[in-house]
Chain A
Amino acid sequence: MDQVSDEEVEVRGEEEEEEEDSDKEDQDLDKMFGAWLGELDKLTQSLDDGRPEPPPQQKAPLRQETNMANFSYRFSIYNINEALNQGDNVDLDALMADLCSIEQELSTINNKPNSSSSSSSLARLGLTDTKVRGRVRVGLGLVSLIRTAPDQQQLQFILASLSMDEAARQTSSHSLSSASSYTSATMRRPGASQNKNEEQAAKLKAENIRVALEKIKEAQVKKLVIRVHLSDESSKTMMVDERQTVRQVLDSLLEKSHCGYSADWSLVETINELQMDKVRQRKWNKLTKIDKKNTTVFVFQECFGGSSVSVPEMEGVLWLKEDGKKSWKKRYFLLRASGIYYVPKGKAKASRDLVCFLQLDHVNVYLGQDYKSKYKAPTDYCMVLKHPQIQKKSQYIKYLCCDDVRTLQQWINSIRIAKYGKQLYTNFQEAMRRSEAAYDWSSLSSSSIKSGSSSSSLPESQSNHSSQSDSGVSEMTSSGHTRSQSVVSSIFSDAWRRGTQGEVRT
């Protein structure tokens, strides 16, 4: 592990041009990959032999996929090492099982004709790789972290739940952590000709190919091992695949931790590097309590109650951090469906005079933590807008600061609605439906769903560049604890009913 990092450093040193700006240092990636290639080949061979080996102790930089497409084989590298180093009760067995199944998959695939259809699944890959990494923050409360990548990137997922009050600590929790990993990817046509299919009846051919393609698709799905930190300081490791939605991950987490189904949970990604979303459970609980009813429900009604989904009318003075400086300037910002704008100095806020601050297609909204001390922000109620793949300080990251927490919540919720639109609501409904279905038994059998406070939603980051239409997205916005759930949900469904009445299918 250390070796790899050293190599990385070395390679960088060799660069002929100084990379002063962190934004521009990916040139060395090719070389890095060159260095790994040998190891990958070895891996490949072992897989081909059908003798799965435990993953080497190696780090896989998250950027790996960028250049992977042209390698003949791609494999996941599970960094268990890091997990071990952490001394937590890593669920190695479970991890191993996952790994073995992946390897099996891979070796099967290697025996089959592979295709250049990689383009299609790669498309998915690209999307997803962001998806897994970008995450969602919604809910709050107890939290857990997952650390994914090696130094350059630390992603942490926080499993948060509102419904769990501080008192309700009895939630069982586990945690795992591990390093990032990828599963395979491109498959080039194997050199040797495959006669397998020829031998089969003509009828079966098409079917076989279909199966093969499916496997390829499967194999090209990236997997990520994440560690989820739960409220009781424990954590749980699990493998997620890029196609999974956050909701699905949550479902399995909840199942594993015997919490019973509830829509109140959520995963939160934290990025230590940028001090975004650090785990601040207690504070969170308080913040969110204040807001849920006021903000979320309000905003939802406004936006989904109309004839079509509209963007909430959000405008007001916010502090904007100046690029590269620790100084903050006041500006009057407005949210529109087409992006975030501000009013230039000396102008009225007529639409035609607005200056586009940024468009939402490529950025996600994050919550800033402790910016008051770190960046001299006027208050601690900060949000950050950035491309989900950017994980380090960069001029492309925009920092905004609100005067109070309520404003912050409203902005974040509104931006999410502007970005994801109806998908948010659909996800919410879906979760509520399932949670209500699950409620009957889960509440009886488990104490985990406790009465508590209400919740609110935090920004979510999905790394989906493609906006709300992407079906892969899913997270949830929060909601209250079970008792208030039905109230909230009925408010929502009322709003929705009104909305569908005059709905335009645009």
Chain B
Amino acid sequence: MAAWDLSVTVEDLGSDAPPVAISVASDLHVGGVILKLVEKTQIKRDWSDHALWWDQKQQWLLRTAWTLEKYGIHADARLVFMPQHKPLKLGLPNGITLRLRASFSCPVFQTVMGICRMLNIRHPEELSLLRPVEEKKKKKDKDLAEEIYDLTEVPLSSVSRPCLYNGMPAHFVDSPQMEAIYKMLSVTQPPPAPEVIAKQYRPASVVDKAHINGRWLDSSRCLMQQGIQENDRLWLRFKYSAFYDIEPKYDVVRLTQLYEQARWAILLEDIDCTEEEMMLFGALQYHISKVAQSEPQMLSTNAAMDDLESALMSLEVKMEGENSSASELLETMTAPELCDYLKIFRPKRLTLKGYKQYWFKFQDTSISYFKSKEESIGEPIQQINLRGCEVAPDVNVASQKFLIRLLIPAPEGMNEVYLRCENEQQYAQWMAACRLASKGKSLADSSFQSEIQSIRSFLAMQKSNSHGNATAGDESINTHSLVSPRYHKKYKPKQLTPRILDAYQNVAQLSLTDAVMRFLQIWQALPDFGLSYVVVRFKGSRKDEVLGIAPNRLIRIDLGVGDVVKTWRYNTMKQWNVNWDIRQMAIEFDGNVNIAFSCVTADCKIVHEFIGGYIFMSTRSREKSDTLNEELFHKLTGGHEAL
């Protein structure tokens, strides 16, 4: 067979180097071409990751056994010989940018799998890559070089066979720098400065929200085919809101990044919530950042033991050690008391009586009060059991107001009682005691001290806010960092503090993991959770409408009405088709319901992939959760390319 010259650009020779010409025949297979090429360059190195890229056809020549003829390559083909894995700047949900080597040759679905393996994120099928929103660079921003954490040195072999040390992939244990990066991935970021939140792009309408979804990369094609170049910037995000089998023990990075994505979705109002919910999200963020600072490890211990059990345990331990009688032991375990002069006020209709001072005693879960300390041996004036009551703060540090509001349910209704404390110290103790008692815990409970601490740190926060600009102390977080910019306008930080504090009391005792899980739970319970929007044009309609794609349904939003006008559920879906020529999607539901639409703000492949992706997510099951059925994913999402 006649030999002819094939010129191949070898990337490693530099961009200025001329193409290398080799003499080939049409029956030479691709592997042979590569061999000749390597010999000719006379460079000794590991070429195993290199492959040929056919520029005109936008195609990798990965089948080394195929001949040039079979590929249809002639002398005019522009071929590039280059590594399949190239560095990529990857923006993570927590705002950090990594530089790492990702596959440019396999479908994006697999590229994401590789990235997730490197970062130790399970269930990579839920994530994908998207082109970032261009940031308008202001002059002053240019000076601030963004810090990029480099992972390009991680050997690819280590990624393909991950093994964990101390819960970390081996390549993160290599050096302190690498360990620091892993910490960056697995520990939540501190709340952003309010200005940072305000500066970020916020979608103002559902149409704005739709535009982001036009940026997702095609999962069935490789990065090279989608015009992504070496060192380009991409975002890694959770794409499908169906988070399978979250296991805090194994999902440290996954959970952290998911939390960060959710947090930003809330802060930037990517998803709507009510004011009450916003305050709760704020309280959880505050709590999470506080606990994350104090807890060295993300992995927290399991829930505290049941009181009785722990009492038993300590009893048993003591029994071993000392030879005292059980009754004596029990005596030493008597719950501590809290006694002090406080002022009480019970609001009633038609009375203007103010606060009266009494001697208060906090015992077990009850408060009793007496005329004076001297009379506290006798019958109390009243005793109030706080179990099951509602406890709310009414505090203003600036004006030294420390009120505890108690709502105590009784058959006749609620009894409202205010306790007035003199100072922070007193307030923190009594408030902590009231909160524990409302949950049926006594002062002896192990959480008493930590409860006091959390109340004080929150007071400190209010204090720093009331002093104008927040200082950079550990304890002081500007409450504007915890809510969306809408509330920056609506409330001053010191107005926000009591609201967040109010919500905070219900979450203050959560462990870090539990708090993160709670945040995600509440996020997932929002009515608009999981909706990805695309502007579409329904067949026969003359105006743009919005299609919302959720994990279990599709919704149609009329932009004129501004509301959901129709819902279709996947479980009533019979089939869907894409007409790739006219870029139209047609879906058939039970009962002969047919819809068809073309996509305006995103390619119809993206919409197709979303729907197929959710169907795929719903096929996952516990038994085979370890192996990802890639083939099925591509079948459901690939479209004509998969066939």
Interface residues of chain A, those whose CB is within 8 Å of chain B, are 17, 19-27, 30, 34, 62-63, 65-67, 69-70, 113-127, 130, 152-153, 189-190, 193-195, 197-198, 202, 205-206, 208-210, 212-213, 217, 305-308, 310-311, 313, 336-339, 341, 348-352, 354, 356, 359, 361-362, 387-397, 465-466, 498, 500-506
Per a CB cutoff under 8 Å, which of A63, A120, A348, A356 touches B307?
A: A120
Which 7 pairs of residues, A with B, have the shortest CB-CB distance? A394-B413, A123-B440, A120-B307, A23-B413, A337-B525, A126-B387, A119-B442
Whether the Cβ atoms of A126 and B379 lie closer than 8 Å is: no
- If A17-B348, A307-B551 touch, whether A359 touches B319 (CB-CB below 8 Å) is no
Residue of B nearest to A192 (CB): B327
Interface string of B387-407 (1 = CB under 8 A from A): 110100000000000000000
Per a CB cutoff under 8 Å, which of A34, A119, A341 touches B379?
A: A34
Whether the Cβ atoms of A338 and B411 lie closer than 8 Å is: no
Measured in the bound complex, the distance between the Cα atoms of B416 and A24 in whole Å is: 7
Measured in the bound complex, the distance between the Cα atoms of B311 and A118 in whole Å is: 10
Can you name 13 extra interface pairs (CB under 8 A) apart from A123-B387, A126-B388?
A23-B412, A24-B348, A63-B411, A114-B330, A115-B311, A116-B330, A118-B364, A120-B311, A194-B325, A213-B308, A389-B409, A394-B412, A504-B244
Distance to closest chain A CB from B572 (angstroms):
11
Distance to closest chain B CB from A192 (angstroms):
9
Cβ of B571 under 8 Å from chain A? yes
Whether the Cβ atoms of B411 and A390 lie closer than 8 Å is: yes
Whether the Cβ atoms of A206 and B316 lie closer than 8 Å is: yes
Per a CB cutoff under 8 Å, which of B325, B408, B441 touches A113?
A: B325
Distance to closest chain B CB from A215 (angstroms):
12
Whether the Cβ atoms of B521 and A506 lie closer than 8 Å is: yes
- If A70-B366, A351-B272 touch, whether A336 touches B412 (CB-CB below 8 Å) is no
Distance to closest chain B CB from A297 (angstroms):
14
Residues in chain A near residue B308, CB distance under 8 A: 117, 120-121, 213, 217
Measured in the bound complex, the distance between the Cα atoms of B415 and A24 in whole Å is: 5
**Can you identify 8 A-B contacts, CB atoms within 8 angstroms?**
A125-B387, A125-B440, A126-B365, A336-B526, A396-B414, A466-B439, A504-B524, A506-B521
Whether the Cβ atoms of A21 and B307 lie closer than 8 Å is: no
Distance to closest chain A CB from B127 (angstroms):
15
Interface string of B515-552 (1 = CB under 8 A from A): 00100111011111010000000000000000000011
Measured in the bound complex, the distance between the Cα atoms of B276 and A359 in whole Å is: 10
Residues in chain A near residue B385, CB distance under 8 A: 65-67, 69, 126
Distance to closest chain B CB from A155 (angstroms):
10
Cβ of B202 under 8 Å from chain A? no
Give the residue among B311, B439, B444 with the most A Cβ atoms within 10 A. Answer: B311
Residues in chain B near residue A505, CB distance under 8 A: 245-247
Whether the Cβ atoms of A362 and B390 lie closer than 8 Å is: yes
Residues in chain A near residue B277, CB distance under 8 A: 336, 338, 351
Cβ of B274 under 8 Å from chain A? yes
Per a CB cutoff under 8 Å, which of A116, A307, A506 touches B517?
A: A506
Whether the Cβ atoms of A23 and B415 lie closer than 8 Å is: yes
Cβ of B273 under 8 Å from chain A? yes
Give the residue among B278, B388, B619 with the most A Cβ atoms within 10 A. Answer: B388
Per a CB cutoff under 8 Å, which of B387, B521, B617 touches A502?
A: B617
Measured in the bound complex, the distance between the Cα atoms of B277 and A354 in whole Å is: 11
Measured in the bound complex, the distance between the Cα atoms of B269 and A388 in whole Å is: 36
Give the residue among A63, A115, A202, A500 with the most B Cβ atoms within 10 A. Answer: A115
- If A27-B382, A396-B414, A502-B618 touch, whether A20 touches B349 (CB-CB below 8 Å) is yes
Residues in chain B near residue A113, CB distance under 8 A: 325-327, 330
Distance to closest chain B CB from A221 (angstroms):
13
Measured in the bound complex, the distance between the Cα atoms of B319 and A195 in whole Å is: 14
Distance to closest chain A CB from B512 (angstroms):
15
Whether the Cβ atoms of A390 and B412 lie closer than 8 Å is: yes
Interface residues of chain B, those whose CB is within 8 Å of chain A, are 241-247, 269, 272-278, 280, 306-308, 311-312, 315-316, 319, 325-328, 330-331, 333-335, 346, 348-351, 363-366, 368, 379-385, 387-388, 390, 408-416, 439-442, 444-445, 486, 506, 517, 520-522, 524-528, 530, 551-552, 562-563, 571, 617-622
- If A123-B441, A209-B319 touch, whether A336 touches B274 (CB-CB below 8 Å) is yes
Residues in chain B near residue A503, CB distance under 8 A: 244-245
Number of A-B contacts (CB under 8 A): 266
- If A30-B379, A152-B411, A193-B325 touch, whether A338 touches B319 (CB-CB below 8 Å) is no
Residues in chain A near residue B408, CB distance under 8 A: 26
Residues in chain B near residue A195, CB distance under 8 A: 325
Measured in the bound complex, the distance between the Cα atoms of B244 and A465 in whole Å is: 30
Whether the Cβ atoms of A387 and B409 lie closer than 8 Å is: yes
- If A23-B415, A193-B325, A351-B272 touch, whether A116 touches B410 (CB-CB below 8 Å) is no
Give the residue among B308, B411, B520 with the most A Cβ atoms within 10 A. Answer: B411
Residues in chain A near residue B366, CB distance under 8 A: 67, 69-70
Measured in the bound complex, the distance between the Cα atoms of B328 and A324 in whole Å is: 55
- If A70-B383, A501-B619, A501-B621 touch, whether A391 touches B319 (CB-CB below 8 Å) is no
Whether the Cβ atoms of B243 and A465 lie closer than 8 Å is: no
- If A116-B334, A189-B331 touch, whether A389 touches B388 (CB-CB below 8 Å) is yes
Whether the Cβ atoms of A506 and B524 lie closer than 8 Å is: yes
Whether the Cβ atoms of B351 and A17 lie closer than 8 Å is: yes
Distance to closest chain A CB from B473 (angstroms):
31
Whether the Cβ atoms of A117 and B330 lie closer than 8 Å is: yes
Distance to closest chain A CB from B350 (angstroms):
7
Residues in chain A near residue B415, CB distance under 8 A: 23-24, 26
Whether the Cβ atoms of A501 and B348 lie closer than 8 Å is: no
Residues in chain B near residue A210, CB distance under 8 A: 312
Whether the Cβ atoms of B312 and A213 lie closer than 8 Å is: yes
Whether the Cβ atoms of A339 and B525 lie closer than 8 Å is: no
Per a CB cutoff under 8 Å, which of A23, A153, A307, A354 touches B414?
A: A23
Residues in chain B near residue A202, CB distance under 8 A: 319
Residues in chain A near residue B245, CB distance under 8 A: 503-505
Give the residue among A22, A194, A306, A391 with the most B Cβ atoms within 10 A. Answer: A306
Per a CB cutoff under 8 Å, which of B272, B325, B335, B381 touches A350?
A: B272
Residues in chain B near residue A23, CB distance under 8 A: 410, 412-416
Residues in chain B near residue A307, CB distance under 8 A: 241-244, 530, 551-552, 617-618
- If A113-B330, A123-B441, A352-B274 touch, whether A22 touches B413 (CB-CB below 8 Å) is yes
Residues in chain B near residue A197, CB distance under 8 A: 325-326
Give the residue among B306, B384, B486 with the most A Cβ atoms within 10 A. Answer: B384
Whether the Cβ atoms of B412 and A189 lie closer than 8 Å is: no
Measured in the bound complex, the distance between the Cα atoms of B351 and A303 in whole Å is: 48
Whether the Cβ atoms of A501 and B620 lie closer than 8 Å is: yes
Per a CB cutoff under 8 Å, which of A27, A313, A502 touches B242?
A: A502
Measured in the bound complex, the distance between the Cα atoms of B530 and A59 in whole Å is: 55
Residues in chain A near residue B618, CB distance under 8 A: 307, 498, 501-502
Residues in chain B near residue A208, CB distance under 8 A: 326
Measured in the bound complex, the distance between the Cα atoms of B521 and A352 in whole Å is: 19
Residues in chain A near residue B506, CB distance under 8 A: 361
Measured in the bound complex, the distance between the Cα atoms of B333 and A24 in whole Å is: 35
Residues in chain A near residue B379, CB distance under 8 A: 30, 34
Measured in the bound complex, the distance between the Cα atoms of B364 and A205 in whole Å is: 27
- If A66-B385, A505-B245 touch, whether A21 touches B413 (CB-CB below 8 Å) is yes
Whether the Cβ atoms of B525 and A504 lie closer than 8 Å is: no
Whether the Cβ atoms of A67 and B383 lie closer than 8 Å is: yes
Distance to closest chain A CB from B248 (angstroms):
9
Whether the Cβ atoms of B382 and A30 lie closer than 8 Å is: yes
Residue of A nearest to B506 (CB): A361
Distance to closest chain A CB from B356 (angstroms):
11
Per a CB cutoff under 8 Å, which of A121, A311, A350, A362 touches B525?
A: A311
Measured in the bound complex, the distance between the Cα atoms of B440 and A124 in whole Å is: 8
Residue of A nearest to B277 (CB): A338
Whether the Cβ atoms of A119 and B307 lie closer than 8 Å is: yes
Residue of A nearest to B351 (CB): A17
Measured in the bound complex, the distance between the Cα atoms of B524 and A465 in whole Å is: 22
Residues in chain A near residue B334, CB distance under 8 A: 116
Measured in the bound complex, the distance between the Cα atoms of B415 and A388 in whole Å is: 14
